[in-house]
């Protein structure tokens, strides 16, 4: 025997090294997380709405299941990372959802960025069957996930978190329990607000330097060497240089604006002022109006240039 946990959802095995993992949603992020789990020695069974995205992972050793429910039936812990709240509800609570396949004591961790209240309502449904749902949004881009530098925030039952922590550490070295269900989602929204405002302000600063005669290359280099530098600017800032915008954006305008709208809606519900978030969101609207929204959202720099009369 190789020491791996046997199928059958032996919850006690979750604290060990070898665990049967399920993964629902094999898009840009899921496709990078699954290999990290397999490299750590875990057996992974995955599902994706379009099977073709799973083919490279299957070639690397991942098993494929026909439904999210079938994934859960073979797993001790099931992860999901999908687009929005509607997608999470579908894969978690639908007729063939995770909740119907996960046995008592099993753990479901959703890594999507969704509304905290929605995450809490899904967790309540899992609790009815004696299973655990944790919100576990990932903070990081494909670049940081691939480099093993992503962080995971967890909301939910503390004991379930401790059991799942060894698996979470295979995804990234920084794993933190924020509090109860929904609070990790809330924290992720706050982090994304900060990230977006920082990147938008970066474009504003570069445009201001440019219009005064500083070359774009010199402006970017100076900022990345200054006290204002940060990890996100380090890998995203150079995108605004000529010919450096990636063909496949890390997060295009539409995707990033989805998260900003989550922040603005949450702020409205909680009565918390977010004027900088509102301003950053308007820059996303401007990108859409100019037809440049298919790019990574750092492209807002071009909006500032056009507003300043630069070509």
Q: What is the pLDDT of residues 176-231, one digit of tens each?
A: 999 999 999 999 999 999 999 999 999 999 999 999 999 999 999 999 999 999 99
Answer whether 0.75 is exceeded by the pTM: yes
CATH number, domain 11-179: 3.40.50.720
Question: Using 50, 70 and 90 to split pLDDT, how confident is the model at 107?
Answer: very high
Q: How far apart are CA 101 and CA 8, in angstroms?
A: 11
pLDDT tens-digit profile of 37-82? 999 999 999 999 999 999 999 999 999 999 999 999 999 999 999 9
With tokens 């990932």, the residue in question is 138
Tokens of 30: 């899921």
pLDDT of residue 4: 39
Does the pLDDT value for residue 9 go beyond 70?
A: no
pLDDT tens-digit profile of 143-184? 888 888 889 999 999 999 999 999 999 999 999 999 999 999
Q: How far apart are CA 125 and CA 138, in angstroms?
A: 23
Question: Using 50, 70 and 90 to split pLDDT, how confident is the model at 140?
Answer: confident
Q: How far apart are CA 213 and CA 207, in angstroms?
A: 10
pLDDT of residue 30: 94
First to last CA, the chain: 65
- The residue extents of the domains of the chain are 11-179, 187-307
Identify the CA nearest to 188 among candidates 133, 111, 284.
111
Does the pLDDT value for residue 13 go beyond 70?
A: no
pLDDT of residue 148: 84
pLDDT of residue 105: 95
Q: How far apart are CA 119 and CA 109, in angstroms?
A: 10
Same fold, 11-179 and 187-307: no
CATH number, domain 187-307: 1.10.1040.10
Does the pLDDT value for residue 125 go beyond 50?
A: yes
pLDDT of residue 18: 62
Does the pLDDT value for residue 16 go beyond 70?
A: no
pLDDT of residue 17: 53
Q: How far apart are CA 175 and CA 288, in angstroms?
A: 35
Mean of the per-residue pLDDT values of the chain: 92
């Amino acid at each position: 025997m190789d020491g791996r946990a046997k199928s059958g959802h032996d919850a006690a095995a979750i604290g060990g090294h070898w665990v049967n993992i399920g993964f629902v949603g094999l898009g840009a992020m899921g496709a990078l997380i699954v290999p990290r789990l397999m490299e750590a020695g875990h057996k992974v069974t995955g599902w994706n709405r379009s099977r073709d995205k799973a083919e490279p992972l299957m070639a690397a050793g991942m098993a494929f299941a026909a439904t999210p429910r079938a994934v859960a039936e073979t797993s001790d812990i099931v992860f999901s990372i999908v687009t929005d709240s509607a997608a999470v509800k579908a894969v978690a609570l639908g007729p063939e959802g995770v909740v119907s396949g996960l046995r008592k004591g099993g753990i479901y961790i959703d890594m999507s960025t969704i509304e905290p209240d929605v995450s809490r309502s899904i967790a309540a449904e899992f609790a009815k069957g004696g299973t655990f749902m944790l919100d576990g949004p990932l903070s990081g881009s494909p670049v940081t996930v691939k480099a093993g530098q992503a962080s995971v925030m967890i909301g939910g039952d503390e004991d379930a978190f401790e059991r799942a922590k060894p698996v979470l550490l295979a995804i990234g070295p920084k794993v933190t329990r924020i509090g109860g269900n929904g609070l990790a989602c809330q924290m992720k929204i706050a982090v994304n607000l900060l990230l977006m405002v920082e990147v938008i302000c970066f474009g504003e600063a570069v445009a201001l330097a440019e219009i005064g005669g500083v070359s774009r290359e010199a402006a970017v280099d100076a900022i990345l060497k200054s006290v204002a530098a940060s990890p996100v600017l380090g890998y995203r800032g150079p995108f605004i240089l000529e010919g450096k915008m990636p063909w496949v954006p890390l997060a295009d305008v539409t995707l990033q604006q989805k998260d900003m709208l989550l922040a603005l809606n949450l702020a409205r519900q909680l009565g918390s002022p977010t004027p900088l978030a509102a301003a950053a969101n308007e820059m996303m609207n401007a990108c859409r109006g100019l037809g440049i929204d298919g790019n990574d959202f750092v492209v807002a720099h071009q909006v500032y240039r056009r507003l300043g009369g630069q070509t």
